[in-house]
Amino acid sequence: MEKVVIIGSGPAGYTAAVYAARANLEPLVISGNTIGGLLTQTSEVENFPGFPEGVNGYELTMKMQTQAEKFGARLEIANVEKLELTDGGVQKITLDNGNVIESKALIIATGATPRWLGLESEERLKNCGVSACATCDGAFFEDMKVVVAGGGDSAMEEALFLTKFASEVIVVHRRNELRASKIMAERAMNHEKIRFVWNSQIVEILGESEVTGIKVKNNADNSESVIECQGVFVALGHVPATEIVKGQIDMDDAGFIKLENNTSMTNLAGVFGAGDCADHRYRQAITAAAAGCRAAIDAERYLG
Ligand code: NDP
């Protein structure tokens, strides 16, 4: 019987592992599909405290892994196939390699993935002008023209943030009205640097090795046009990786795990949530790391 199992190996999972290991709980981390999580897919991280020169996302998560292992955390490279959760009892975890693990406490740190447009050109130009995080990459677009795809609160927030750097921000939305809240929509629509392209879908991101523009299709008359830009920020919302706990744990309508009273506790005693799978608002490496720390402390107290 394990004391603590942590599902997920991003900043939330590894920080939970560092804290749980230092509390002598010998945590077992289940890596998930991408060892190191989403952060390994970004290039330069410039906003993680302690790295004034910036740090490569992959390198940062590998350092977190080394730190967790140094204190006795174990890493199992596998995916979770099935979870059987209980309220205050034994948590049963079945892995895709056939292993079945039982644990007294469970920390779910499975993350979330951005919803992408699904274009081949988008995939090819990721980190070469295509991004899903203005907070992470906006500063690289000083005095440049950028496009934001989407019409929700995330898109408005990204667009407003990008006005600090970009010379012009063009929001491309597939309908002629925004999904965003009134206050965010008004703020964006009243901003002198933001322009809207309505009823339009991005059908291709242009450029060989870096973004040079986008091709958009007007959904009303099917006409196509080209908009020149150097950056494309895809802000179509996030999909939390919470399929495995669906129906067993309290979640919001979008599938993010609900946490109780500003803690990492879920509605099930002994089951804790940390990082982007339980946070649609901040979604930063540093906030995920902080959430992992909270989950480990809550798990330690629960076991105590
Ligand atoms: P939303 O699901 O609210 O919005 C997603 C947007 O992307 C929609 O405008 C949608 O278009 C568009 N979209 C989705 N798929 C595609 C596609 N394939 N092609 C083109 N467009 C697409 O996600 P958000 O991340 O914006 O918001 C999630 C939640 O988080 C909301 O509750 C929001 O209020 C909250 N939030 C709050 C913030 C704040 O208060 N500061 C900041 C960020 C988020 P369509 O409208 O046509 O469906």
Q: What domains, with CATH codes, occur in the chain?
A: 2-113+238-303 (3.50.50.60), 116-234 (3.50.50.60)
pLDDT of residue 238: 87
And the tokens for 256? 């993010």
- The structure tokens 């890596």 sit at 31
In the DSSP assignment, the letter for residue 206 is E
Query: Could you give the CA distance from residue 271 to residue 268 in angstroms, rounded to a whole number?
Result: 6
Residue 174 Cβ contacting ligand 1 at under 6 Å: yes
Give the atom of ligand 1 at the shortest distance from the alpha carbon of 236.
Answer: 7
Q: How confident is the model over 249-260, as a mean pLDDT?
A: 96
* Cα–ligand 1 centroid distance for 202 (angstroms): 16
3-state class (DSSP) for residue 194 = strand
Give the atom of ligand 1 at the shortest distance from the alpha carbon of 155.
Answer: 26
Give the atom of ligand 1 at the shortest distance from the alpha carbon of 179.
Answer: 46
Pocket test for ligand 1, best of 216, 253, 280, 281 (most atoms within 8 A of CB): 280
The DSSP line for 223-265 is -EEEEE-SEEEE-S-EEES-GGGTTTS-B-TTSPBP-STTSSB
- The structure tokens 């490279």 sit at 77
Query: Could you give the CA distance from residue 99 to residue 249 in angstroms, rounded to a whole number?
Result: 23
Q: List the residue whose alpha carbon is closest to atom 30 of ligand 1.
A: 280
* The amino acid at 56: N
- Read off φ and ψ for residue 286, nearest 5 degrees: -70, -35
CB 231 within 8 A of CB 129: yes
- The structure tokens 């295509």 sit at 130
What mean pLDDT is reported for the chain? 95
Quick one: how many helices (H) and strands (E) in the chain? 7, 19
Q: List the residue whose alpha carbon is closest to atom 31 of ligand 1.
A: 153
Closest of 114, 111, 154 to residue 131, by C-alpha: 114
Query: Could you give the CA distance from residue 121 to residue 267 in angstroms, rounded to a whole number?
Result: 42
pLDDT tens for 15-74 read: 999 999 999 999 999 999 888 888 887 667 888 999 999 999 899 999 999 999 999 999
Closest of 278, 274, 234 to residue 254, by C-alpha: 278
**In this predicted model, which residue has the larger pLDDT, 123 or 35?**
123
Q: How confident is the model over 246-252, as a mean pLDDT?
A: 97
In the DSSP assignment, the letter for residue 115 is P
pLDDT of residue 45: 83
Residue 301 Cβ contacting ligand 1 at under 6 Å: no
Query: Could you give the CA distance from residue 76 to residue 74 in angstroms, rounded to a whole number?
Result: 7
Q: List the residue whose alpha carbon is closest to atom 39 of ligand 1.
A: 153
pTM: 0.78
